[in-house]
Amino acid sequence: LHSEESGSLDFARNAGAKPNDPPSATQGGGDKVSELLYIGRWDGGKGTDFLLSQLSQLRQLFDFKFTIIGSGSVGDLPDFARHLGFVDEEMKRDLLRRCSGLIVPSMLESFSIVTLEAMSMGCPVLLNGNNPVLAGHSHRSGCGLLYYDAPSFLDGASRLLCATFDQKSLEQGRAYVSKNYSKSAVATRLLQALELN
């Protein structure tokens, strides 16, 4: 399995925000903040050029921050963006809990642990729908927004910032990860595979 992200799939309570509220420094949901998150290697081949270009357009309409976690040369970033490099698990999980949403723009994902980790923590996700793996996670879980081009990206990112994810959708994401990718679920499938052999 190829993935730039790693981490345990633990569960955390989501602090939901009121739908259609304009984003501000903090969103109506406790400690939620207007911040979009990218986790992984920063590389143009993973859709990062498109991502930053679209977020720069979105920044003309919304006041938000964009945080990048992971390796890679980010070059000169706009004022609303920051690159933290590698962070420890505690900080990563805190960012996932507090942010408006995680964006996964890569066409190269063959599993995307970070998508599952975000879902397990009740973090809304915006995924590249042209990637069948990411689209599959979204369709099977009933959670997650998909984009296919610039207009649908801007629409999806706007929805993240306006906190239009309902609690039911986020709970479906948690349940999907727990049922299919928890340690016990994976162990059961491995045992079943061994029995078949």
Domain containing residue 55: CATH number:
3.40.50.2000
Residues contacting 173, CB < 8 A, separation 6+: 119, 120, 122, 125, 141, 142, 143, 144
For the segment 12-28, the average pLDDT, to the nearest whole number, is: 35
Q: pLDDT digits over 59-73, tens only? A: 999 999 999 999 999
Mean pLDDT of 8-37: 47
Q: Does residue 137 lie in a domain region?
A: yes
Asked whether residue 22 is domain-assigned, the answer is no
Q: Is residue 89 part of a domain?
A: yes
Three-state secondary-structure class, residue 69: strand
Give the integer Cα–Cα distance in Å for 89 and 133: 24
For residue 128, is it within any domain? yes
Q: Using an 8 Å Cβ cutoff, are 70 and 4 in contact?
A: yes
Q: Which of 5-14, 130-139, 151-160, 171-180 has the lowest mean pLDDT?
A: 5-14
- pLDDT score at 4: 36
Quick one: pLDDT band at residue 13, thresholds 50, 70, 90? Answer: very low
52 belongs to a structural domain: yes
Q: Is residue 13 part of a domain?
A: no
Domain of residue 62, residue span: 35-196
Q: Domain total for the chain?
A: 1
Predicted TM-score (pTM) of this structure? 0.79
Reduced DSSP (H G I as helix, E B as strand, rest coil) percent helix, strand, coil of the chain, to 5: 40, 15, 45
pLDDT in tens, 54-104: 999 999 999 999 999 999 999 999 999 999 999 999 999 999 999 999 999
